[in-house]
C-alpha cells in the first residue's frame, strides 16, 4: 500500500485550471491511489468537493463528502461524470472554491440534475440530485471542463477577482486555502 499524500491545490490564475480533463479509461490501482490523495487533500483543506485538476491531474475524477461536520464521513467518487438532465428551475447558493480561496458569490444553477458516472467499482451509475449535491456536482463537473464558478458571475466581479489573484501571484504572496474558523460547508471545492 502506497502512503496517501496531501497534494498542493492549484490557485487561480494557474492556467491548468482551464484545461479540459481527459476521460478515465480504466479504474485501476493508479486511479484508486489518485482518489485516496484527493480525499486526503480535500479533507485537509477542508472542502466538500474536489476535482482532480485542482491538484494538477487532468483526469475526469471528482471526490465529494457532504456529511455535516460531526456526522460520520460519506465519501463519494464520480468518475467521468456527465450531466444527462438539468431542471429548468434554478436555485442559488453562496459558492466558494478551494482554487479561489476566501471568495464567495451567489451562483444560480439548475436546482436538480441527473448525472451519469462510473464508480470505483468500474460500473456505470446514474443519480438524480438536488440541493447541495446538485450544486456541488455542477461546480465540480465545471472544473473538469475548465470552467470556474466565477465564470457564472458578472464580468465586472470576475475581473476584480482575477486581478486580485494575479497581483497576489506576482507578489508571491502565500495564499491561505481556508481560514481556520471557516466551515467546510462554505467551501464547495
Ligand atoms: Zn472549485
Q: How far is the CA of 100 from the centre of ligand 1 (A)?
A: 7
pLDDT values of the chain reduced to their tens digit, one per residue, 189 residues: 557 799 999 999 999 999 999 999 999 999 999 999 999 999 999 999 999 999 999 999 999 999 998 899 999 999 999 999 999 999 999 999 999 999 999 999 999 999 999 999 999 999 999 999 999 999 999 999 999 999 999 999 999 999 999 999 998 876 655 544 455 555 677
Adjacent-strand bridge partners of 123: none
CB of 94 closer than 8 Å to CB of 104: yes
Q: How far is the CA of 138 from the centre of ligand 1 (A)?
A: 10
The residues, any chain, with a CB within 8 Å of residue 70's CB and separated by 6 or more, are none
The model scores a pTM over 0.75: yes
Q: Which of 36, 140, 174, 185 is catalytic?
A: 140
Comparing C-alpha atoms, which of 80, 78, 83 is closest to residue 120? 78
Q: How far is the CA of 68 from the centre of ligand 1 (A)?
A: 19
Q: Is 126 a catalytic residue?
A: no
Q: How far is the CA of 122 from the centre of ligand 1 (A)?
A: 25
Amino acid at each position: 500500500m502506497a502512503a496517501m499524500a496531501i497534494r498542493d491545490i492549484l490557485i487561480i490564475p494557474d492556467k491548468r485550471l482551464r484545461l479540459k480533463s481527459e476521460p478515465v479509461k480504466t479504474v485501476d490501482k493508479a486511479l484508486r491511489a489518485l482518489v485516496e490523495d484527493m480525499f486526503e487533500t480535500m479533507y485537509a483543506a477542508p472542502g466538500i468537493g474536489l476535482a482532480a485538476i485542482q491538484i494538477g491531474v487532468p483526469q475526469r475524477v471528482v471526490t465529494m463528502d457532504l456529511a455535516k461536520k460531526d456526522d460520520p464521513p460519506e465519501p463519494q467518487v464520480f468518475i467521468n461524470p456527465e450531466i444527462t438532465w438539468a431542471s429548468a428551475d434554478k436555485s442559488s447558493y453562496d459558492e466558494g472554491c478551494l482554487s479561489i480561496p476566501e471568495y464567495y458569490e451567489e451562483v444560480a444553477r439548475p436546482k436538480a440534475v441527473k448525472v451519469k458516472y462510473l464508480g470505483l467499482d468500474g460500473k456505470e451509475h446514474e443519480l438524480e440530485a438536488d440541493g447541495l449535491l446538485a450544486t456541488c456536482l455542477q461546480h465540480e463537473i465545471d472544473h473538469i471542463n475548465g470552467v470556474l464558478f466565477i465564470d457564472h458571475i458578472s464580468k465586472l466581479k470576475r475581473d476584480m477577482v482575477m486581478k486580485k489573484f494575479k497581483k497576489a501571484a506576482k507578489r508571491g504572496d502565500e495564499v491561505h486555502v481556508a481560514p481556520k474558523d471557516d466551515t467546510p460547508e462554505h467551501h464547495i471545492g
